[in-house]
Each structure stands twice: as structure tokens, then as C-alpha cells.
Structure 1
Amino acid sequence: MSFGDNSRSLHAWSLDEDASQQFFRQAVELGITFWDTANVYSSGTSEEFVGRAVKRYSRREDIVLSTKVSGRMHDGPGGSGLSRKAILEQLDASLTRLDTDYIDVYYIHRFDDEVPVEETMEALHDVIKAGKVRYIGASSMYAWQFAKLQRAADQHGWTRFIAMQDQYNLLKREEERDMLPLCADLGVGCTPYSPLAKGRLTRPWGTQTSRSSTDVVARSFDLAVDEPVVEAVQRVAEQRGVPMAQVALAWVLSKPVVSAPLIGATKPHHLADAAAALELQLTEDEVVAMEEPYSPQAPFWW
């Protein structure tokens, strides 16, 4: 499946509704048509915001809409995980909140080692056959787990995953070891989250924001080994006369397996920078300069 223009995607997280509606309107004006959310984002409120925005600013047919299942929504067997019961219950709840008849890409948010992969894949196949989902994707897992799920689908003639939503940016490149080559081999498109490393790649090293000092996820990008990478991005941006965000995102977009990096915007210029990054073609020397300082790290998922 192609998501179209591979820079035009929006990750709906946890803004208040007034702010979120402004971003959705701006997204439509910029031609951003791939909108991503999840049932657990703001306990379902994010899906409600997205559903209202689709009706207000666009046509459902013009938006590629994705959401996810796995995280805990409530206690009980249908409240979390990837059992048949949970998938069927949570999908219907997401459809209600999004006020739509179908999901374009339905992601499993994490691997569930307590449920047989056959149960998960058959349930996902059934919701596609029922017309409630068009395609399926997976997110944040080991390559062997993803391969195990795809193998189960192949063995039983069920629907295979067409997308992998994993963390990938200049500071977190662990997916290059196994997952990205696997996706390339299987023809799976990657829709990476945190392409700007929670903002760390958008500002000079040492610059602090309220989020960078309080958010445990944002602090994971404050390791000493990351400093030379951020400085390399800054040098390229200064030489180009463009924001660091455009350079960092252009690097992600340069990877052939990447279909649509997800931009979690919190300010209007974030979406503008994302759209502009599509036009920024990095030279081989610039890519090498930013990649060379990288130090491998253990995977960090949340």
C-alpha cells in the first residue's frame, strides 16, 4: 500500500480540542492526508478529536486514517492486548469514537506474548473481511516477532501487515540492524514515529524546554553520545539556511523503506517544516556527516 506523498502525515496525540482542530485544518491546507492516532491516546479522546476534524475539514475518502489496539483501555479480558475478544471490542469502540465505518490502517500497538499469533492474525483478517479495516500494520517490536506474525498469516492465507510503525531518527537507528531490512524484503512500508527525537533534533544541544526536563521519553534523547549527532544536524542546517527540523526529517525521508514519517505537531510551524522537508534533498556528504557520530543504543519503546 502507498500512503502517497511520503512526508505528509500527522500524528494525533494529546492536544486539547481547540488546538488540535487548528492543526487538522492546517494539515488539510498543506495536503497532509495520513492521520494517525490510537485508542489509548488521551484515553480515547484523541480519536474523538480526529473523527470530528475529518468531518469538519475534509472528506473521509480523502484521509488515510490509522489507529491502534493493544494498550489498556479498561480492566477485563477485552480491555487490552491482542486476543480476539480485545481486537473486536476495541475496534468497535475506536470506530465509534472516530465516527467512521472503517479504519484505513489498523495497527497492533505492541506484540502480545500472552496470545498465540494465530489468534491475533485471524482476528485481524476477519475484521478486514468484515469491511471494518482496509489494511493492517504493527508497531514497536523485535524483528523476529514481526516475522513470526507475518509467517502465521502466510501459513493460513490470512492478511499480512503492510506497515511498520517504529521509532526511527538520527539518534535512534537500532531499526537498521534487523527491522528495516526485514521490511524492505517483505515490501512493508515504515511509518516511523519520533522522526525528530521528541524535538531534540530541532534545537542546538543544551537547549532546554519544559518537556525535555520533565518527560521521561524526551529525556531519553539527552545522552552524551547524542550530542555530536545533534551538532552535525545543526551544522548542516546552518549551511543550508533552514531549520534543523527540516534537515533531520529530510534524513528520515531519504530512506527508501520509509513511507510516511509521523509528525506530532505542537506548534503551527512544525507542520510547515514537515511539508518543506520533502523538497530538501541532502547530499551524500551531508548524510555521512550526520550519520558518522552515531553510537548504537538499546531499543527504547514506550
Structure 2
Amino acid sequence: MTEMEYTKLGDTGLEVSRLCLGCMNFGSGQPWMMNDEEASLELLDDALEMGVNFLDTANVYSRGESEEIVGKAIEGRNRDELVIATKVYGKMGGYPNGQGLSRKHILDQAEASLDRLGTDYIDLYQIHRWDDETPIEETLSALDYLVETGKVRYIGASSMAAWQFSKALYESDLQGYERFTCMQPEYNLVDRHEEENVLPVCESEGIGVIPWSPLAGGFLTGKYDRDEEPTEGRATEDDHTEARFTDENWAVVGEVRAIAEEKGVTPAQVSLAWLLHKPVVDSPIIGPRTIDHLEENVASLDVALSDEELERLESPKSPVWSREIAGL
């Protein structure tokens, strides 16, 4: 059985498992979610037993349901051994101040997340997106207050332009506010636009990187075929996943499949191994829906890739960033 590995999150002293368990699947309301609390708790328990100590959720995932399930999973466990991450920004109600990154919304939602998680503190509290309508100084001040009062240990960010992230880091340094220690970008073998955006900032500033969608919504698992209409998976429900069906991306999948066959592993394991070989990446956020998928993902830690194999995987496309490509 694969032994879990651990690493420091960016330049911090915080140790996290090399794979982070994404908890967006734990909840109900969408066909691609697990829609089964008992099965969700079983998967969470198995992940924790395998050594995954890093769990990532958000207040908007099933409108708090995901956080509640995570809270049940960690109840009775040694809290000191766990790193719990959640997020704030998304719409939690159709009323004024029901979304965004105002001081009011952040402080209100931090308390709500703590209640749902059943914990006294959040290890990593992340802004889910950039808020054009709230000054970044107000957002940073509120996050700094949460750290000062002990309700949050570290703060992070997700999915934004490099200039926005750089501005936030600069303002933190200028005002003496708590600094973002982590970035959560979309990053995988076919979505490499962040190599031309926020990843260089993270590398130069010692920011931890925990990529979301490391398997491109299932596209990199090899479950789809170029000449066949998808009949299952995210591509049947998610335009973002189906939009990946381009010539360049199919060429990437071809190399993933070939290397997987040569090594006697799965395409998903090769795709995750590529991310794990990136020095800037600390802990990809996996989103398995079954125990078999969880075990398959964890086994990617045992897959070694040579420089030649890394080049084969990357050569079919060149990274380009724009707000449209990034979905911002």
C-alpha cells in the first residue's frame, strides 16, 4: 500500500499531505455529487486512514452541506493532526451582504463555517475569487482580524489574475496584515494557463500551490474518446469539461495513455504524477467519488516520470493566459 508523503505548504511550517482531499463532491443537488452522506463519510474516513491530513471545502459547496459532512467526519478525531481548509466569497443568500469579500460577509461566514465544521478554528481560510466591488484592504483587514483572534491559522486565495494577487501581497506587506500563504489555481496537463499567470508569482514569493481540477474534470483519466460523444461523467453536464475537447488536448491525452501503458499504471496516475513532479506544486486537490478512485489517486505518489516523459506530456501545447481562458 502506498505510504502517504507530506510537504510544507509554501514557505510556512505547516505540513500537509501531498494530496489534498477536495470535498466539493460531498453534498447534494447536482448529478456529479455523491448525494449520499454515508458514502461520503466512508470515503472521508478512508482518506484520513490513508494519511491524507488536508481537507478542502467551501461554504458554497451545497450551501454548507459539504462543511457539515466534513465536520461529522472529523468529529472525535485529534484536531491537531488535521489541516482543514474552507473558502469565502460565493453567494450564500439573496440578500444584501450575502456574498463577496466585505468585512461583514467574511466575519459572518467564518463563524458560520466554524459552526458547520464543528471546530474552534480553520487552518486555511481562502478567498474563493477576487471581489472587484470591495477594496482589497478591507478584505485583508478582516482576514487579519480572524488570524489575530485565533479563528484562522493561515489565509489563502484562489483563481485570480497575477496583478491582483501581487497587489494583495503588496498591500499586506505595506499595512502589516497577515499575508496569503497559499494559492489555489486551476492547473493540470491540459489547463496550463497559470504557468503564464499566477504560478511565477507563487514561486518567487514562496506561496504554496494546491491546484484544483488536477484531472481536468475527468478528461485526463482517459474516460473519453475523441471520436465518441460522451455519455457519462462531467462532460455530459459541464460545458467547461467538454470545452477541453480540442486537438491539442487530445494529443496530450494520447501521450498520457501511452506513458500509462508503458508503465503499467492508469492515465489518472500519470496525470497526477506530472503535477507532483512540479516544484511549485505542494498538494493537488483530488476529488474521488469512490474508494477505488481514492486508492488509485493515492497510488500516483509511487509513479516516477523521467525528464523525457515530462517533455512528452508537455510538448503538445504551449500555455497561454487570458481572463477568458481562466474563466474570470
Where do 4+ consecutive residues of structure 1 move more than 4 Å? none
Q: TM-score, normalised by structure 1?
A: 0.95
Among candidates 116, 121, 127, match of residue 108 of structure 1: 127
Give yes or no for the alignment of 1:41 onto 2:67. Answer: no
Give yes or no for the alignment of 1:51 onto 2:71. Answer: yes
Rounded to whole Å, the distance in 2 between the matches of 1:148 and 1:180 is 15
Contact 2:125 2:154 in 1 (8 A): yes
- Residue deviations 1:254-299, cap 9 Å, x none? 1111111000111212221222111211000100001000244553
Amino acid at match of 2:284: P
* Partner SS for 1:135: strand
* Partner SS for 1:278: helix
Match of 1:117 in 2: 136
Contact 1:204 1:234 in 2 (8 A): no
Contact 2:106 2:142 in 1 (8 A): yes
Rounded to whole Å, the distance in 1 between the matches of 2:291 and 2:37 is 15
Rounded to whole Å, the distance in 2 between the matches of 1:290 and 1:219 is 20
Range with greater deviation from structure 2 (219-228 or 239-248) = 219-228
Match of 1:9 in 2: 20
Among candidates 97, 118, 126, match of residue 99 of structure 1: 118
- Residue deviations 1:89-141, cap 9 Å, x none? 11111111111110000000000011111101011000100110000000000
Range with greater deviation from structure 2 (92-101 or 205-214) = 205-214
Rounded to whole Å, the distance in 2 between the matches of 1:20 and 1:294 is 36
Rounded to whole Å, the distance in 1 between the matches of 2:59 and 2:152 is 15
Identity between Structure 1 and Structure 2 (%): 46
Match of 1:300 in 2: 326
Matched length? 301
Match of 1:19 in 2: 39
Amino acid at match of 2:156: G
Q: TM-score, normalised by structure 2?
A: 0.88
User: Aligned runs of 1:58-207 on 2, under 5 Å?
Assistant: 58-203=77-222, 205-206=224-225
CA positional deviation for 1:224: 2.9
RMSD: 1.6
Contact 2:16 2:83 in 1 (8 A): no
Rounded to whole Å, the distance in 2 between the matches of 1:276 and 1:5 is 17
Distance 1:248 1:103, change over 3 A: same
Rounded to whole Å, the distance in 2 between the matches of 1:2 and 1:179 is 22
Rounded to whole Å, the distance in 2 between the matches of 1:64 and 1:39 is 16
CA positional deviation for 1:2: 5.0
Match of 2:304 in 1: 281
Uncovered stretches (5+) of structure 1, i.e. residues with no partner: none
Range with greater deviation from structure 2 (214-223 or 103-112) = 214-223
Give yes or no for the alignment of 1:253 onto 2:272. Answer: no
- Residue deviations 1:123-166, cap 9 Å, x none? 10001001100000000000100011111111010100000000
